[in-house]
Amino acid sequence: MRPSFNAMATASVRRMKLGSQGLEVSAQGLGCFGMSGFYGSPKPEPEMISLIHHAINSGVTFFDTSEAYGPLTNEILLGKALKGGMREKVELATKFGINHGDDGKMEIRGDPAYVRAACEGSLNRLGVDYIDLYYQHRIDTRVPIEVTMGELKKLVEEGKIKYIGLSEASASTIRRAHAVHPITAVQLEWSLWARDVEEEIVPTCRELGIGIVAYSPLGRGFLSSGPKLIDSFSKDDVRQRFPRFQPENLEHNKLLFERVSEIATKKGCTPSQLALAWIHHQGDDVCPIPGTTKIENLNQNIKALSVKLTLQEIAELESITSADAVKGDRYWSGFPTYKESETPSLSSWRAS
C-alpha cells in the first residue's frame, strides 16, 4: 500500500543536467519575479533574503531573475542575498531584452550595444563576475537573432556569461540561434494550464539537446488556489490583466482546478504539488522554477519532488488539461510571446 504523502520523508532536491553544454542545476529552481512587485507590492527585503538563504540551504540553488523584474531591483536584491560566500553555491540565471525607459514604456531590444550594456548592468547589480545562464527575455523582431547571438557569443568568450538561453522563442528562432552558438536552455511557460508548447517547441529543444525551464508551472498561482486567488489581488497585481483571470474565463477555468484538486486529494498531496509533480514527470530535461515569497510554500514545493505519478494518473491529468481546455490567452493582446518571435533574415537586414 502506498504511504500517504504526509508520511513521506522530506524530499531531497536532486541535481540535473540542464541542456547538453555542461550546466548542472537543482532539479527545481526558484523564480524571483514576485519578490519585487508585479503580484502586489514588493516584499520586505530582509524576508526575501531569508527566503533565498533558506532555499539554498534546502538544496534549491537555481535562481531566476531579470533586469525587467522591478525593474532592476530584483537583481539588486539577489545580489545582496548572495554576498558572504553564497555566490559559489548557486546557479544564477538572469535575462535581458525587456527595457523599461524613463517614461515607463516597455521596449524589446536585442541589438548588440544593448545586449552588452544590459549584461554589464546585470553583473553590477548582482555583484558578480559572471552569470551562469543569460537569457534573451523576449525576442527583438527588428534584429536578426543571429546578430543578437553573435554578441552573446562574445560575452561567453570574455567569461562574462557561461551559458546562453532564450525565453519565449519560436522553434525556428531557436534553431537559428542554436546554429550561431549552442543554446543551453529555453525558458517557456509550461504547466497543466499552458500546454501549447508541447506541439513544436518542446520537441525542437529535445532534438537539439536544449534544456527546458518551465516558468509559471503553477499557473501564476491558479493551480495552487483556484479561482479564490483573485480575492487576494491588490490593485497593482498584474494578474488582473491576464485573460485567464477575467470573469468570463474564470468560471470555465475553475472546473479544471476542481478536477486537479480532486486528484490531489486522492494522492494525499496539494494541488500545487500535483502540478509540479506533473512537470517533473515530463522528462529529465525539464526544470520548473515556481516562484514564492513564503518559506512555507517553498518547503511545500520541494516536497513535490517526492510525489510519484502512475501512467494512468498522468493520462487522467492530461485529459483534463488538454491544450484547449483552458479558456483565455496566456497574455493580454500586444504582449510578445513565442508566436510573435520571428526576426528578419541576415540578408534582408543587411540590405536595409
Backbone angles phi, psi at 17, to 5 degrees: -85, 125
Which cell goes with 35?
A: 519578490
Q: Which residue in 69, 134, 135, 163 is the catalytic one?
A: 69
Q: Is the peptide bond before 271 cis (omega within 30 degrees of 0)?
A: no
**Using CA atoms, how far apart are residues 276 and 254, in angstroms rounded to an integer?**
18
| Residue the block writes with cell 502540478 | 275
**Using CA atoms, how far apart are residues 24 and 15, in angstroms rounded to an integer?**
7
What is the torsion angle, in degrees rounded to the nearest 10, for the CA atoms of residue 20, residue 24, residue 30 and residue 36? Answer: -80
39 is a catalytic site residue: no
CB within 8 Å of 44: residues ≥ 6 apart:
none
Contact status, residue 59 vs residue 12, Cβ threshold 8 Å = yes
**Using CA atoms, how far apart are residues 114 and 137, in angstroms rounded to an integer?**
13
Residue 350, judged by CB atoms within 10 A of its CB (0-12, 13-18, 19+), counts as exposed
Contact status, residue 275 vs residue 50, Cβ threshold 8 Å = no
The letter for the amino acid at 129 is D
For strands 286-288 and 211-215, give the pairing: parallel
Closest residue by Cα to residue 292 from 5, 34, 38: 34
**Strand extents, DSSP E, 220-317:** 286-288
**Using CA atoms, how far apart are residues 49 and 55, in angstroms rounded to an integer?**
10
Catalytic residue list = 69
